[in-house]
Structure 1
Amino acid sequence: MTTSNTQTNSLSRTRDHQVGLPARRAAADLLNAVFQKKQPLDEVLGRARDGGYLFDLPVRDRALARAIVGTSLRHKGQIDAVLNTFLERGLPSRAGTLYAILLSGAAQLLFMSVPPHAAIDLAVRLAKWDPRAKRYDKLVNAVLRRVADKGGEIAAKLDAARVNTPDWLWDRWVRAWGEERTRASAEAALVEPPLDLTVKSDPDGWAARLGGRVLPTGSVRILPKGRIEDLDGFIDGNWWVQDAAASLPAQLLGDLTGKRVADLCAAPGGKTAQLALAGAEVVAVDHSKSRLERLEENLKRLGLTVETVRADAGAWQPEERFDAILLDAPCASTGTIRRHPDIPYLKSDKDIAELVDVQARLLDNAVSLLKPGGTLVYSTCSLEPEEGEAQIAALMARNPAIRIDPLRKDEPLGDTEWAEASGILRTFPFQLDLGSPEWSGLDGFFAARLRLAD
């Protein structure tokens, strides 16, 4: 190879690396916000798009940054095990974004098939850019070179489902559901989920247009590809993004034509849209101004009209009672780890205990808003029994006028594996097998239909 060609190739690689640097910088900053500042990834991503790390990045770089973050979080246990093998003195303290740089760099090497020279060079550049991490640039280079050389063998020998699930979560799932369901749920969390859409009409037609398939729930499932806003039908409000399991609680309310229905803790509005589309007179309640504004924007795009109220759903007392109420309560969200892989590293047993108290207050107030004979559907996107089965048992113990209205075999959802013998609905992330991991699965959800005595 001539000197001229060598110089040209070197310059080309340098340009490629510089082009990839902003995406890697954004990924490291996002991961740092999750691990160091304990901020939910969705919130960080929202701020990053509006004026932060992702604001001025091209679409391709945004997608790359999110892919790096998602991969780093899903495989954190394996990556940590590999890194710890090569960090002879452990991770230095007060090193800025060093951990995020190493984590994201190793994720690219081990699970994203990024060429070693690119992943390592960009990681070293990131370290030099951070005032606290720059003194460890040689450490970054040395560790990631060893990861590229031997890390794959180490990662492959690990029990991926177990090591990528933090002890606190694995242990409580085993106690609640047993080893088999726990392992299957953990394995499902390692796969990026497909995209589910709730369509206003003609699911078969939309599945054909978007290259997807119609699920037994009525949702249309597609594989993620590009910006959601660019997909056919989004701008015209023909569908909205909603996991198949998240669409189930509203379906438990049955025929809502002309009924007055409250959607408590309503934002971002997927279930609100379902209720409005079903012909209900909907009052959507949420305590957050920004989340309620987002709900209103979503409903406007969809061409659906509801009344919105900013209030604490645990204390709100309108003059008129409701025929039906949907309470999708705030929860630990451990059923949604497929879509939110930061949850295992942000939540704890303490958080769940605090949320149980909030849910109980919301439930008690929701019951007080029902007309005699009215229906309440309570749901959470959690795999924790305290937030589901135990919560309903405690409610019925406090209020004998409330009973479970069990799912019936002649109902669409009553003849599925999700209908428990007790009459409630419980889904797990490993269910809804469609033949391949990338098409299969759904969020873990709990839902109970309750009836208030006449």
Structure 2
Amino acid sequence: MTKRPFRPAGRRPSPKQASAPGLAARRRACELVEAVLLRRRPLDEVLDEPTELDAADRALVRKIAATTLRRLGTIDRLLDSRLAKGLPDGLPRLRTVLRTGACQVLFLDLADYAAVDIAVRLVEADRKARGFAGLTNAVLRGLARDRELILGQLDPLDDLPAWLRQRWIAAYGEAETRAIAAIQAVEPPLDLTVKADAEGWARRLGGTTTPTGSVRLVDAGQVTALDGFSEGAWWVQDAAAALPARLLGDVAGRRIADLCAAPGGKTAQLAAAGATVTAVDRSARRLERLAANMDRLGLAVAVEATDALTLTGTFDAVLLDAACSATGTVRGHPDVMHLKSAADVEGLARMQARLLDRLGDLLVPGGRAVYCTCSLEPEEGEQQIAGLLGRDARMAVDPIRSDEFAGLAPFVTPDGFLRTLPSAWSHAEPARAGLDGFFAARLIRRPD
């Protein structure tokens, strides 16, 4: 990474003078990082809050906050190595400014002098921390000075919290876990599912197509400004998330319940393929967002704001995209690493089992179901299916075949399940590589 050098030293304006360009955005980035790490709020929830920042600054805020969370393990290790006496308790903003400043000088293509100068301003603006402005300046300048040496010695495993690193090494081995961590350190691409003509839309939007037929864009900018958005030609959906609905095969004319449906990417796939879809979610607010998405796309679906555990009726097919730990989505949602824990996996697995137990009642005899999670945890995938088969003799696995559609084969396991790993689809440009981690199993209700 070629970085812009420091400007010549000179007298810096005091915090009381006019706000420096970029200061408001960097302050907001600090607020987002603190909202996740100190107040345990999802990053997307905080990003949705109203702000007076323009589109460019909002993009900068997201990039700084997300990259800081993505590389937090490495950043903290480097800061700790340069703070022999540590930092005093009771100064959370000081640590946050150091974290976001280190993120900028090490991992983002931003001017070093601006990152350091504004970091010092932010510390000076904090009454309790202003005595550490000189330390902030020295630490961040030191990281910028040693950047090339630092970047040549990074271990991507440092960015994984211990609980996640240990679980993934146990499930996938150290080499695969390191590969997953390495791609998760890279800003993800934007994947789109199109109603028709993926190749044509890829050319039109300046993107490429994935092996499974999604359109992939890098540095796409504001989604709502992209060609085709207003006319509902496509919707945002990670390439891995687009696979489970396709495992139901030809759904034209079939009655399908999409459980835990919001925000509706899989609902849209099923409706666009001609299914009669009932989108079920217990959150009325999330269903409002789903309905708005369907309106934009010109797709008609029924919505039912109810808990899937109490849903009545029978269907030709069921898609169960169960709430999960979402550890397969860390690349795009790095807050997951810091908000979830092994205890969350255990609790979610119990709920998933209860949802799976409903399939036998909701399906007509001979009906199919697809169960999926955006999790890399075996307890939320393979182990769930084994548990269901032991509890409900009506249900059986309908093995997924590698030739069902283009690009599927690398993800089909020997047991006939689907398992995508974020490290798949290697590319010379890391920003174009990978996809979310997903598990899916296809099930069938035995005839009576």
Residue of structure 2 in register with 1:67 after alignment: 63
Among 316, 330, 337, the alignment partner of 1:337 is 330
Among 420, 429, 438, the alignment partner of 1:427 is 420
What 5-or-longer segments of structure 2 have no aligned partner?
Answer: 1-7
* 1:45-444 alignment, distance < 5 Å: 45-47=47-49, 51=50, 55-150=51-146, 152-159=148-155, 161-316=156-311, 318=312, 320-412=313-405, 416-444=409-437
Contact 1:407 1:414 in 2 (8 A): no
Contact 1:367 1:376 in 2 (8 A): no
Contact 1:262 1:324 in 2 (8 A): yes
Contact 1:96 1:132 in 2 (8 A): no
Distance 2:127 2:73 in 1: 27
C-alpha change, 1:364 and 1:92, in structure 2 (3 Å) is: same
Q: CA RMSD in A?
A: 2.1
C-alpha change, 1:242 and 1:15, in structure 2 (3 Å) is: farther
Paired residue secondary structure (2:337) = helix
Contact 2:211 2:406 in 1 (8 A): no
Residue of structure 1 in register with 2:26 after alignment: 24
Runs of 4+ in 1 over 6 A off after TM superposition: 6-11, 14-17
Distance 1:98 1:367 in 2: 55
Distance 2:386 2:234 in 1: 36
Contact 1:256 1:275 in 2 (8 A): yes
Letter in 1 for 2:221: G
What 5-or-longer segments of structure 1 have no aligned partner?
Answer: 1-5
Contact 1:25 1:126 in 2 (8 A): yes
TM-score by length of 1: 0.92
Provide, for residues 178-216 of structure 1, a one-character-per-residue CA deviation record: whole Å limited to 9, x for no partner. Answer: 122211111110111111100011111111100111222
Residue of structure 2 in register with 1:42 after alignment: 44
Paired residue secondary structure (2:41) = coil
Contact 1:204 1:213 in 2 (8 A): yes
Deviates more, 1:242-251 or 1:358-367: 358-367
Deviates more, 1:62-71 or 1:383-392: 62-71
Provide, for residues 78-111 of structure 1, a one-character-per-residue CA deviation record: whole Å limited to 9, x for no partner. Answer: 2111111222221222213222111001111111
Contact 1:407 1:413 in 2 (8 A): no
The alignment of Structure 1 onto Structure 2 pairs a total of residues equal to 438
Paired residue secondary structure (2:21) = helix
Paired residue secondary structure (2:137) = helix
Contact 2:190 2:236 in 1 (8 A): yes
| Shift, 1:415, TM fit | 5.5
Distance 1:443 1:451 in 2: 26
Residue of structure 2 in register with 1:3 after alignment: none
C-alpha change, 1:244 and 1:415, in structure 2 (3 Å) is: closer
Letter in 2 for 1:300: D
| Shift, 1:432, TM fit | 1.9
Distance 2:164 2:402 in 1: 33
Letter in 1 for 2:117: D
* 1:440-451 alignment, distance < 5 Å: 440-451=433-444
TM-score by length of 2: 0.93
Letter in 2 for 1:121: D
| Shift, 1:294, TM fit | 0.7
